[in-house]
């Protein structure tokens, strides 16, 4: 099975292909995709071969065909609906993030425990957390973003999984663990910044 | 030199240690840290040995000492100041993100091209982008977060590096490449969600 890094590279190839499509490119070579994704051409071919995608040494890949194949692998043939739990500063920014819609990702609703933040007529609506299970069941949604404070995150993860969610992207500043049968990916801003600080310092010190 | 994954794990060990400190733990074993970070105890010991950190097989690690060592490696002995470029929805959420301050990370100022968003008296202030170079020089700041729209990101990266910034965390939905002598880490929300979609689907299909 492909690992996380491989799937991230496939997303990058797919994004590069979409840009090439707008430029009316018909064919593309592994070198072009390698440049766009910041990897080697050999890596591109290796990633593709894992999914049985083969090019033509002289002709490269057909842009349309390759984009379709990557979209299929990445589950982008249909609109993917998410729910968002926690409509604080970060949650609100995510609720209105312009990058999602154009990439076939849609936040169906936000959920809150604070009645002041309810907004059933919003686009997307913000609903009471107690309605979560009913909502995801009726819409057949399996994906959630958690953007609650750290102290609430573990409890909210339990609620979300009990509601039938299978995959979670966690923005709360705490590393949540996935119970069996679910996937939890953590985005920890503090960790990302610490990472940056370490490598800038290492670079400055000539390591 | 340590790689990105190793440094991310060090951040997690450090966060776990901080929680143990609040519980008045004096000693900790690699098994405990492994559980907290979701890795094996062997991995914890391997990561530590890379930085010359050794425990005592029977006594484990002293929590205070280990926390100090990790803080030093992660550059957390002093407050790390960042600037933020782009105060839209996402930028505003980052400007007021509660997780930073407590972890020794501070956003010194936000910068904007839209005069409507200027707020020189804010905490932190939002200033005109043209003041960036002077500001980072006077404060000796080397780190920046970019949260501008995708079409502006590459140009803003150029401005930021020209101003003397060495390390950038990019939130714009485009993969920015680091010129020589600089570090650019990309957080791409679309890519993160695609990753989640892939692994949930793979899991559902029993792969």
Q: What is the pLDDT of residues B40-73, one digit of tens each?
A: 999 999 999 999 998 877 778 999 999 999 988 8
Strand order in the sheet with B167-170: B126-128, B105-112, B80-85, B143-146, B167-170, B183-186
Nearest to B178 by CA among B188, B167, B164, B192: B167
pTM higher than 0.95: no
B190/A73 touch (CB, cutoff 8 Å), yes or no: no
Contacts of B201 in chain A (CB under 8 A): 75
Residues of B in contact with A193 (CB under 8 A): 80, 82, 100, 105, 143, 145, 169
The domain boundary residue, chosen from A73, A102, A131: A73
Q: Which of B73, B90, B125 is the last residue of a domain?
A: B73
Task: Please check whether residue B207 lies inside any domain of the structure.
Answer: no
Cα–chain center distance at A194: 22
Q: Are residues B89 and B41 in the same domain?
A: no
Does residue A63 form part of some domain?
yes
Whether B105 and chain A come into contact, CB under 8 Å, resolves to yes
Is A190–B166 a contact, with Cβ atoms under 8 angstroms apart?
A: no
In whole angstroms, how far apart are CA A134 and each of A80, A114, A128, A151? 18, 19, 11, 25
In this structure, are B132 and B172 located in the same domain? yes
- Of residues A85, A76, A74, A77, the one with CA closest to residue A108: A85
| φ/ψ bin of A81: left (φ > 0), alpha (ψ from -120 to 50), beta (otherwise) | beta
**A 173-192 residues with CB below 8 A of B?**
173-175, 177, 181, 183, 185, 187-192
A26 and B CB contact within 8 Å: no
pLDDT in tens for each of the 207 residues of chain A?
678 888 889 988 988 888 788 778 888 888 888 887 888 999 999 999 999 998 877 778 999 999 999 988 888 777 889 999 999 999 999 998 877 877 788 999 999 999 999 999 999 999 999 999 999 999 999 999 999 998 899 999 999 999 999 999 999 888 888 888 899 998 888 888 888 888 888 877 765
**Nearest Cβ partner for B202 among A1, A93, A103:** A1
Q: Which two tokens stand for residue A59?
A: 């002709």
> Do B181 and B165 share a structural domain?
yes
Question: Mutate which of A73, A148, A198 to disrupt the B interface (most B C-beta within 10 Å)?
Answer: A198
How many other CB atoms are found less than 10 A from the CB of residue A189?
Answer: 20
Nearest chain A residue to B173 by CA distance is: A99
Task: Give the range of the structural domain holding residue B69, as residue numbers without chain letter.
Answer: 4-73
Nearest-CB residue to A90 (from B97, B169, B204): B97
Q: Is residue B158 part of a domain?
A: yes
Report residue B65 as tokens: 């000492």
Check B143 against A202: CB less than 8 A apart: no
Number of domains into which chain A is organized: 2
In the numeric block, the tokens 């002077």 are attached to B134
The residue among B197, B202, B205 with the most chain A CBs within 10 A of its CB, best to mutate, is B197
Average pLDDT for chain B: 89
Task: Single out the residue of A143, A45, A164 nearest to residue B195, CA to CA.
Answer: A143
Structural domain includes residue B40: yes
Q: B2 — contact with chain A (CB < 8 Å)?
A: yes
- In 3D space, the residue among A103, A106, A104, A101 whose CA is nearest the CA of residue A78 turns out to be A104
User: Are A123 and A186 members of one domain?
Assistant: yes
- Residues from chain A contacting residue B38 (CB–CB below 8 Å): 175, 177
CATH of the domain at B64: 1.10.10.10
Residue A135 sits at φ, ψ, to 5 deg, of -65, -50
CA distances for B120 relative to A110, A135, A140, B131, B148, angstroms: 32, 43, 47, 12, 19
Residues B65 and B161 in one domain: no
Same domain, B99 and B130: yes
Q: Label residue A45 exposed, middle or buried (CB < 10 Å: 0-12, 13-18, 19+).
A: middle
Total length of chain A:
207
Greater model confidence, A168 or B4: A168
């Amino acid at each position: 099975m492909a690992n996380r890094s491989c799937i991230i590279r496939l997303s990058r190839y797919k994004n590069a292909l979409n840009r090439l499509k707008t430029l009316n490119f018909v064919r593309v070579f592994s070198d072009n995709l390698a440049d766009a994704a910041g990897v080697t051409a050999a890596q591109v071919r290796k990633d593709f071969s894992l999914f049985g995608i083969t090019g033509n040494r002289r002709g490269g890949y057909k842009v349309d065909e390759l984009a379709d194949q990557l979209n299929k692998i990445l589950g982008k043939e249909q609109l993917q609906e998410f729910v968002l739990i926690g409509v604080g500063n970060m949650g609100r920014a995510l609720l209105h993030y312009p990058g999602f819609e154009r990439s076939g990702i849609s936040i169906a609703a936000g959920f809150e425990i604070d009645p002041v933040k309810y907004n059933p007529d919003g686009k997307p609506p913000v609903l009471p957390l107690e309605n979560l299970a009913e909502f995801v069941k009726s819409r057949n949604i399996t994906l959630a973003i958690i953007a609650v404070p750290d102290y609430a995150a573990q409890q909210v993860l339990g609620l979300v999984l009990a509601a039938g969610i299978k995959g979670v992207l966690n923005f709360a500043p705490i590393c949540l663990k996935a119970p069996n049968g679910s996937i939890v990916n953590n985005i920890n801003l503090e960790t990302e910044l610490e990472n940056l600080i370490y490598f800038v310092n290492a670079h400055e010190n000539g390591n």
